[in-house]
Amino acid sequence: MKPYLAQAKTEIKLALTQGESLLVTIGIPVIVLVGLSLTKALPLPSTAKSATEFLVPGTMTLAIMATGMVSTSIATGVERSYGVLKRLGTTPLGRPALMAAKITSILVVEVVQLAVLAVIGLLLGWHPVGNWGLFVVSAILATSGFAGIGLLMAGTMKSEVIIGAANGIYLILLFIGGIIMPISSLPGALETFARLLPAAALSESLYHSIGIGGTIPLWAWLNMIIWAVGAPLIAAKSFRWEQ
């Protein structure tokens, strides 16, 4: 227990003190939320009565994706290429406790991010409608999926490649993840493709659980469950501890 606590404390501290990482995990989601709520520069879903109803769930999706996938892949990739993971292998920490500490750190950072976005959303006039229980379930499923993708990258790619790839995927999903504009405004084939990726399912689920209410569609549940189970499994199978 003591090694796990020491590791979790350090992971959280590192995650919350790195400038580049904070830009992606908190800075960009906040800028997108404030900017698009005030300017209404992009289309909103026809079901939305206000911009924040759509953009708060959207930017929370972006935040979860940033921590689960971008930060995790880059940080763990660096640890792998610098021999940190190797070095930890012969300490009493052990791999299960290391993984548990990483998950703890991801969840703590997400709570901070979501709290910041919720407060800003409320200031911008957001009135959450829906079911917070579904919000929590969706967020956890999506975190597992994104963290799985992040660890898959961290365990198989070189650290310089990871930085480019993770930020690239972040940018693509920002546009086709139902985050800044509804996927229904995408061309037909791209919309179908977007539904297969993990971001759109989460933004759709959050839109219903804390945006406008209503039921989360089946495709979104299926998508989140498949990514939540599949990505960590593939990551675990392919993870190489030493570069």
Partner 1 sequence: MTTIEVNDLYIAYGEKIAVAGISFQADSSEVLTILGPNGAGKTSTVESVEGYRKPSRGIIRVLGLDPYKDLPKLAPSIGVMLQDGGIYPRMTPLQALRLFHGYYRDPLDIDQLIQLVNLQGALRTPYRRLSGGEKQRLSLALAIIGQPEVVFLDEPTAGIDPEGRLAVREVIRNLKSKGVCILMTTHELDEAERLSDRIIILDRGTIVAEGTPEQLMTASRGDSIRFSAPGGLDLSQLELEIGASVAEDRAGEYTISAEATPERIAKLTSYLASKNIAIGDIRAARSSLEDVFFALTGKTMDPETQDKPARERGSRRQR
Consecutive H or E run containing 87 = helix 84-89
Count CB neighbours of 49 within 10 A.
12
Best CA proximity match to 85, nearest among 181, 195, 7: 7
CB distance 160 to 177 below 8 Å: no
DSSP state for residue 212 in the 8-state scheme: B
Could you list the residues that contact partner 1 (CB under 8 A)?
2-3, 5-7, 9-10, 13-14, 18, 78-79, 81-84, 86-87, 89-94, 159-160, 243
Place of tokens 């967020």: 139
The set of residues, in sequence order, having a beta carbon less than 8 Å from that of 236 and lying 6+ positions away, is 151
Q: How many whole angstroms from its chain centre is CA 43?
A: 23
Measured from the CB atom, the residue of 2 and 237 that comes closer to partner 1 is 2
Measured from the CB atom, the residue of 46 and 90 that comes closer to partner 1 is 90
